[in-house]
Structure 1
Amino acid sequence: MTRPLVFLACVALTATARASPPQPDRDPGLLVRALWLIQRQGTPDALAPQSDQAMKGRLFKALGKDGTLTSTELNGLMASSTFAKLAGPDQRLDPQEIAMALTADTPESRTRLLPGIRAHADSLTTSFDLIHDSHRVAGDAMVAWIAEKYRPGQALNLTVICTGNSRRSILGATMGNIAAAYYGLPEIRFHSGGTAPTAFNPRTVNALREIGVEIDPTGGEARRGEPATANPIYRVRWGTPSDSGSPPLETTEFSKLYSDPANPQAEFAALLVCSEADAGCPVVRGASVRIPVPYLDPKIYDDGAYETTKYAERRDDMGRLLFSVLMRVRNQLHERPTN
C-alpha cells in the first residue's frame, strides 16, 4: 500500500462525514467497523483527535486485501493484551469477529436513538480529524472533568452557554445529549443557557430536525428576554423510551439565562461556546469548572445562500468534539477498577 493511497483513504473517510447523512440501514463498510473497534478498544494515544487521521491511514493499510487484522499491524493502536482477548486462539481478527465484537458492546441507549440520528452519529465518528486545534485543549479539559466526576446512576450536568441561547448553546447541548446516549452514558446531561436570552431560533430547529431530532412546540411560552421576541417552549426528543427505567432521551428547551431554575444550579461544567459569553462570565455561579470553547456564530450567514449549510456545519463541528470527548470518557470509565 503506497502512502498516496493511504492519504486518499483518509480523505474519502472525511468526505463521507461532510456529505449528506447516510441512510440508517446502509452498511458502513469494513474500514469504518474496524475504526469503531479501535475507538472502543484502542490506546489513548491512538484516540487523541490529533492522531485520528494517521490512525485511520494505518488502519486502512493494516486491513489489506482480506480484511483481517493482526496484533503486529495494530501495534500502538491497540494493546497486545486487548487484541489477544478479542482475537482468540488464531490471534487474527477477521471481518466477522470485528462485527461480533461491536455488536456485543453496543449500549442500550444507543439502540434507542432515533434512526436518522443514529446514522448521523455514526457518520460523525469518522471525522474526529476535523476537530480544530483550538478546541482540543477544551476537549481534554472536558474529558478530565467528566471522568473525575462521573458516578454510575448519578446525574452529571454540563451547561452550554452562549449569549442569546438561541443557536450555538442549543446545538451544542443537543449534540452532547446525543453523544451521551450513543456512548452509553445517559447519566451525563447537557443543558443550555445564555447571558442575554432571546428565543430558540427557527434555523437552529431546522438544523436539528435535519438529522432526525424531533422538535415540537408545547404550546407554552417562557419568560421573554427581549419584550418583542416570543420565547416558545419546545419538546426536543432524540430517542425512544426505555423499558428498563433509564433516563428519557428528551428534554424541554427554550431560551433562558444559564442560571434559570430549569438548569443545574451547582456542581456543573460551564462550556462557554462564544467569546461574548466567555468575556461576560468571568465567573459562572455554581459551576465547578469553566471551559471556554468558542465557535463562530452561524447567525452571520442568516438570510443568505449558505445559511442552511453553515448551521449544519456548526452543529457538526460541536457534535464531533463532544462525541470525541464522550468516546474517550467511556473508555476511561471502562478501564476504571470496580470495587
Structure 2
Amino acid sequence: MNQKIENIISHLQIDAITDNRKQILQPLIEYIQEKVNQNNAVSINFICTHNSRRSHLSQIWAQTMANYYGIHNVFTYSGGTESTAMFPKVAETLQNQGFNLHKLSETNNPVYAVKYDDNSHAIIGFSKKYDDEFNPKSSFAAIMTCSHADGNCPFIAGAEKRIPITFEDPKLFDNTAQQNEKYQERSLQIATEMSYVFSKIKK
C-alpha cells in the first residue's frame, strides 16, 4: 500500500470513536462478518443523494481498509438518488492523502480510476444512480451515507441489508475559508470508521 496512505491509517484515532457511532457501525460489521464466515463475496453500495462527496469517500476508504486488513472478496460501490459528478474537492482531498487518481474521461461527470498502491485494482469512481448497471443488483448491503437519501429511499431493491451510517456534508463549507480543512476532516472521519469496521472482522 502507498506509504502515505499507510501512514495516515496508522495514525487514525480509532479509540476516539464514540460508543454511539460504534453502535451505528455494528450492523455493517455483522454483515461483513457473516459474508466472510460463509466465504461469500462482500458487496457494499454506499448511497447518498448526489453521489458526489460522502458516498465516494466511503466507497474508496472501505475498499482500502478491506485491503489493509486482509479481508478478501470485498467489492465497494457508490450511487445516488440522482447522478451529478464527483465533486472536484473530493478528488483533490484524496490525492492529497496519497491516492493516485487518473481521470479516464473529460466529461461533466468524469470517471476516475483510484488506486491506493501501484499494483492494486483501480477503484472506479463516478456519479451514478444507486441502481445503475455498474452497481450490484442483489446480494449487497446498502449503506445510506446521508440523511436525505436515508429518508427518501426507505427501500433499496436487491439490498440484503439497509444500514444508515450518515456523515455531515462537507458541502456546507464550500467556498469558505474552512473548505479544505472540512473535506480533509470528513475524509479522515470516514477512514477512521471504516478502519474500525474492518479491524473487527475475524478471518
TM-score bin (small chain): over 0.9
Aligned equivalent of 2:133, options 245, 261, 264? 261
Q: Which residue of 1 aligns with 2:55?
A: 169
Q: Give the TM-score normalised by the residue count of structure 1.
A: 0.57
Q: Distance in 2 between matches of 1:216 and 1:194?
A: 22
Q: CA deviation at 1:272?
A: 0.4
Q: Distance in 2 between matches of 1:269 and 1:306?
A: 33
Q: Which residue of 1 aligns with 2:152?
A: 280
Q: Distance in 2 between matches of 1:195 and 1:129?
A: 33
Q: Which residue of 1 aligns with 2:92?
A: 206
Q: Distance in 2 between matches of 1:169 and 1:155?
A: 20
Q: Is the Cα–Cα contact under 8 Å of residues 239 and 250 in structure 1 kept in the other structure? A: no
1:60-209 equivalence runs, <5 A: 113-124=1-12, 127-150=13-36, 154-209=40-95
- What amino acid sits opposite 1:115 in the alignment? Q
The CA RMSD over aligned residues, in Å, is: 1.6
| 1:181-228 deviations in Å (ceiling 9; x for gaps) | 11011311221111122101100001111111011111254xxxxxxx
Give the fraction of aligned pairs with identical amino acids, expressed as a percent.
33
Q: Distance in 2 between matches of 1:154 and 1:209?
A: 32
Q: Give the TM-score normalised by the residue count of structure 2.
A: 0.94
Structure holding more helix per residue: 1
- What amino acid sits opposite 1:210 in the alignment? N
Q: Which residue of 1 aligns with 2:179?
A: 307
- What amino acid sits opposite 2:90 in the alignment? T
Aligned length: 203
| 1:269-291 deviations in Å (ceiling 9; x for gaps) | 11101000001110111110000
Q: Distance in 1 between matches of 2:124 and 2:106?
A: 11
Q: Is the Cα–Cα contact under 8 Å of residues 139 and 158 in structure 2 kept in the other structure? A: yes
1:313-332 equivalence runs, <5 A: 313-329=185-201, 332=202
Q: Which residue of 1 aligns with 2:117?
A: 239
Which runs of structure 1 show a deviation greater than 6 angstroms over 4 or more consecutive aligned residues?
A: none
Q: CA deviation at 1:238?
A: 1.1
Q: Distance in 2 between matches of 1:119 and 1:179?
A: 13
Q: Is the Cα–Cα contact under 8 Å of residues 45 and 143 in structure 2 kept in the other structure? A: yes
Residues 278 and 234 (structure 1), Cα distance of their counterparts in 2 relative to 1, 3 Å cut: same
What's the secondary structure of 1:255's corresponding residue? coil
Q: Is the Cα–Cα contact under 8 Å of residues 162 and 194 in structure 1 kept in the other structure? A: yes
- What amino acid sits opposite 2:4 in the alignment? G
Larger RCO (CA within 8 A; separation ≥ 6): 2
Q: CA deviation at 1:155?
A: 2.9
Residues 254 and 114 (structure 1), Cα distance of their counterparts in 2 relative to 1, 3 Å cut: same
**Greater CA radius of gyration, 1 or 2?**
1
